[in-house]
């Protein structure tokens, strides 16, 4: 290599020159063509960061006169040092090449993206494949040099632009192609343009309200809802301008024919957490003026930007402030907020591919056309930084991961450990779907699965329990395969699920089947549910079962099935999860995938609460029972192992005997009986017992005293106790 003088490239930036006909081609740009710039039409230059080369050899380049290889210099490839930044020039007259090493910029970088202060903004981006990085801010283009590795970041390019840039538009260019900022905090709708944000200007005037108390994660009761579904119908009682918006979610005092709706309904129901379907910036429904367009939002475009469709105001500051107001008002109401996040894929490759293909896996694991590769350290760091940003800036209380099964359990655990270390007093809930998009994965044993999640117990991360769900209701998308609630199913899987899927022994490192129904070493790792936004709603499942079995859709027995299914969830160990509206017999007209179906399919019709008042009351009573009695909420594997005993009677009755006093309950002992099928005569343990719940009736039992034996009704949850 030729020796040349070293050039110090300062943090103040240099505007790029006009394009030239000379082209740089080498390993930094995968032998593509990068125009070299000139100020005198004699010397043409390009700054390039060389990494380790390519499959054919080490870091090297040539200069192509016309971009077609008819005239190129030098005759043989020009080799340079790896992991070094150079300015490369050619003299057009004598064809002499000079290669000068450029010391790395000293620009300090705390985080990637646009880090604002009143005196200037530091812009930084990860660019592992090329050093041809520039930045356009408010119409002015600047070159962006590579900076030293710092704060765990590698291969980063950064520059500081002076002045107050709040609300200024910006974007990066990589190899001359416009790319959005993966860390952007705000974006111009439907454009690859981000907005510099001074987020302190979006702070709430009165500050954050106290966070609702959560002593143990097992104390949580999660309620899933979509921002639009919750209030879009006029029956919500929400002001028309706020319907289907962040602010509509938390408008108080709303009623329909005298019954509470919206936020007041959730307070009355007694849930502790609301899990909200994606509310970052998604690609579908791009026209905000198309008020009929609907989507769940599982097509991310900007991971850190609130979705504009859910904001009343289109002002950038207001959009962030409205979301903060929603979170704050939920907290005032005693309800924590969980964000549904979709880091497993993007709307399309275009989100990241022009920065680096390293963002994506070679095989589509998500079933959406692409999947994110968190085995790349800087990609895993991006996800971690995004989670931390949402937690810090928007005061969130947890995350539900869509298809977390495409990620390694070690990465999932690392994210959880980082968040819980950074926010030690939050008791965050972090959980996800332990499967991928039906893909074959060579890393299957390393991924998040039932059989691997226990290894991350220290991270306080968990998963949905599909084995328990299927034991209760059977098949997700038809009336077949009824499960225990339909007098079918495997009682042994119901048994294990009711114990929070506790492992046979408390050894997280013992290798088990990846789908073993006994998989947890802590009950907080099992999210128990019968239905969610995916697949048929529970009511639709029941209606299809009725059709197949010649049962009238108006038969009151169908309500009993609904209560029984969620009664099991609400009286089992682990963390219960309810699909929004299940307490009012919500249906979606048999649509098993309503991700872009109209409001007529997805909306909450608050008249259901009146029509199905008994079902609502049953769910409310079971929630209150669970909250009042920690015997249903054991906190460790040992507590369940030592204090929860299950007994199976044939295939249709499961009795759970709980030493409730061991977890500080005012009841000494609790019996929970799940009876599938006909009535069952149960011989009670000795002593007097009191009936808290029976016969599918709100406040069933009325705490009457019984002894000797009890006729337990089928398709019902029965709860007895000794004080």
d(CA 217, CA 499): 16
Provide, for the chain, the percentages of residues in helix, strand and coil under a 3-state DSSP scheme, each rounded to the nearest 5: 25, 25, 50
pLDDT digits (tens, 9 = 90+) for 300-355: 999 999 999 999 999 999 999 999 999 999 999 999 999 999 999 999 998 999 99
Asked whether residue 690 is assigned to any structural domain, the reply reads yes
85 and 121, same domain (yes or no): no
Number of H helices, E strands in the chain: 14, 35
**Cβ contact 271:575 at 8 Å:** no
How many domains would you assign to the chain? Answer: 3
Q: Which of 64, 402, 495, 583 is catalytic?
A: 402
Neighbours of 216 (CB within 10 A): 16
pLDDT at 507 over 80: yes
76 and 151, same domain (yes or no): no
Q: Is 326 helix (H, G, I), strand (E, B) or coil?
A: helix
Asked whether residue 209 is assigned to any structural domain, the reply reads no
pLDDT at 481 over 90: no
Residue 11's pLDDT band (boundaries 50, 70, 90)?
Answer: very low
92 and 119, same domain (yes or no): no
90 and 155, same domain (yes or no): no
The last residue of one of the domains, among 171, 198, 225, is 198
CATH number at residue 60: 2.60.40.10
Q: Which of 281, 414, 433, 621 is catalytic?
A: 433
d(CA 675, CA 680): 7
d(CA 158, CA 146): 6
Is position 638 annotated as part of the catalytic site? no
Nearest of 51, 165, 50, 47 to residue 117 by alpha carbon: 165
d(CA 28, CA 54): 9
CATH number at residue 671: 2.60.40.1180
The last residue of one of the domains, among 173, 198, 223, is 198
Asked whether residue 449 is assigned to any structural domain, the reply reads no
State residue 125's pLDDT score: 98
pLDDT at 680 over 90: yes
d(CA 283, CA 261): 30
Is position 433 annotated as part of the catalytic site? yes
pLDDT at 491 over 90: yes
The last residue of one of the domains, among 76, 101, 126, is 101
Asked whether residue 700 is assigned to any structural domain, the reply reads yes
90 and 126, same domain (yes or no): no
**Cβ contact 296:595 at 8 Å:** yes
| Residue ranges making up the domain that contains 52 | 23-101
pTM assigned to the model: 0.89
Q: Is 268 helix (H, G, I), strand (E, B) or coil?
A: helix
Asked whether residue 678 is assigned to any structural domain, the reply reads yes
Asked whether residue 154 is assigned to any structural domain, the reply reads yes
72 and 141, same domain (yes or no): no
pLDDT digits (tens, 9 = 90+) for 25-59: 999 888 998 889 898 999 999 988 787 889 999 99
Q: Is 260 helix (H, G, I), strand (E, B) or coil?
A: strand
Mean pLDDT of the chain: 94
Nearest of 303, 316, 404 to residue 351 by alpha carbon: 303
144 and 169, same domain (yes or no): yes
643 and 704, same domain (yes or no): yes
119 and 186, same domain (yes or no): yes
- Mean pLDDT for 624-652 is 97
- Mean pLDDT for 363-381 is 97
639 and 715, same domain (yes or no): yes
d(CA 485, CA 585): 15
Asked whether residue 238 is assigned to any structural domain, the reply reads no
Asked whether residue 183 is assigned to any structural domain, the reply reads yes
């Amino acid at each position: 290599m030729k020796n040349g003088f070293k050039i110090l490239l300062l943090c103040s930036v240099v505007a790029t020159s006009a394009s030239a006909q000379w082209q740089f081609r080498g390993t930094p740009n995968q032998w593509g063509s990068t125009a070299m710039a000139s100020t005198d039409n004699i010397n043409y230059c390009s700054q390039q960061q060389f990494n380790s080369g390519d499959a054919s050899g080490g870091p090297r380049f040539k200069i192509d006169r016309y971009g077609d290889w008819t005239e190129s210099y030098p005759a043989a490839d020009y080799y340079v040092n790896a992991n070094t930044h150079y300015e490369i020039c050619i003299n057009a007259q004598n064809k002499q090449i000079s290669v000068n090493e450029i010391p790395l910029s000293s620009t300090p970088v705390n985080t990637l993206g646009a880090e604002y202060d009143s005196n200037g903004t530091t812009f930084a981006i990860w660019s592992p494949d090329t050093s041809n990085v520039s930045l356009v801010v408010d119409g002015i283009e600047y070159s962006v040099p590579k900076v030293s590795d710092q704060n765990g970041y590698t291969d980063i390019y950064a520059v500081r632009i002076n002045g107050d840039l709040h609300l200024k538009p910006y974007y990066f260019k990589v190899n001359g192609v416009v790319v959005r900022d993966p860390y952007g905090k705000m974006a111009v709708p439907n454009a690859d343009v981000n907005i510099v944000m001074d987020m302190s200007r979006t702070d709430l005037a009165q500050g954050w309200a106290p966070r609702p108390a959560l002593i143990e994660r097992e104390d949580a009761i999660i309620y899933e809802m979509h921002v639009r579904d919750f209030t879009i119908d006029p029956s919500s009682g929400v002001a028309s301008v706020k319907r289907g918006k962040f602010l509509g979610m938390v408008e108080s005092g709303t009623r329909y024919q005298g019954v509470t709706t919206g936020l007041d309904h959730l307070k009355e129901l007694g849930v502790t957490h609301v899990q909200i379907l994606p509310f970052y910036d998604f690609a579908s429904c791009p026209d905000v003026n198309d008020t009929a367009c609907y989507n769940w939002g599982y097509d991310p475009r900007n991971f850190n930007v609130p979705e504009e469709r859910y904001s009343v105001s289109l002002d950038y500051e207001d959009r962030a402030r409205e979301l903060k107001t929603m979170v704050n008002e939920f907290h005032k109401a005693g309800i924590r907020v969980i964000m549904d996040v979709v880091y497993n894929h993007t709307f399309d490759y275009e989100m990241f591919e022009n920065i680096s293909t390293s963002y994506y896996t070679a095989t589509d694991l998500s079933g959406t056309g692409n999947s994110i590769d968190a085995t790349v350290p800087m990609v895993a760091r991006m996800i971690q930084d995004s989670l931390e940003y949402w937690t810090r800036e928007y005061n969130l209380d947890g995350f539900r991961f869509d298809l977390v099964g495409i990620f390694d359990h070690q990465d999932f655990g690392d994210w959880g450990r980082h968040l819980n270390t950074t926010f030690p007093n939050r008791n965050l809930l972090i959980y996800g779907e332990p499967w991928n998009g039906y893909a074959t994965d060579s890393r299957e044993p390393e991924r998040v699965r039932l059989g691997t999640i226990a290894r991350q117990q220290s991270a306080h991360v968990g998963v949905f329990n599909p084995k328990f769900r299927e034991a209760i209701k059977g098949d997700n998308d038809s009336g077949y395969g009824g499960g225990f609630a339909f007098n079918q199913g495997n009682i042994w899987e119901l048994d294990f699920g009711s114990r929070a899927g506790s492992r046979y022994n408390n050894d997280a490192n013992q290798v088990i089947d990846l789908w073993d129904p006994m998989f947890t070493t802590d009950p907080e790792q099992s999210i128990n549910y019968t239905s969610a936004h995916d697949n048929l709603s529970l009511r639709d499942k029941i209606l299809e079962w009725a059709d197949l079995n010649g049962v009238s859709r108006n038969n009151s027995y169908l309500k009993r099935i609904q209560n029984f299914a969620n009664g099991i969830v609400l009286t089992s160990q682990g963390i219960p999860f309810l699909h929004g509206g299940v307490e009012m017999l919500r249906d979606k007209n048999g649509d098993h995938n309503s991700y872009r179906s109209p409001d007529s399919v997805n909306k909450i019709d608050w008249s259901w609460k009146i029509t199905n008042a008994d079902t609502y009351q049953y769910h409310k009573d079971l929630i209150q029972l669970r909250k009042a009695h920690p015997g249903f909420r054991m906190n460790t594997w040992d507590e369940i192992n030592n204090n929860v005993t299950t007994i199976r009677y044939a295939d249709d009755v499961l009795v759970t005997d709980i030493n409730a006093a061991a977890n500080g309950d005012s009841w000494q002992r609790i019996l929970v009986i799940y009876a599938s099928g006909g009535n069952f005569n149960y011989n009670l343990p000795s002593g007097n017992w009191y009936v808290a719940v029976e016969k599918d009736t709100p406040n069933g039992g009325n705490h009457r005293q019984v002894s000797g034996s009890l006729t337990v009704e089928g398709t019902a949850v029965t709860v007895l106790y000794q004080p």
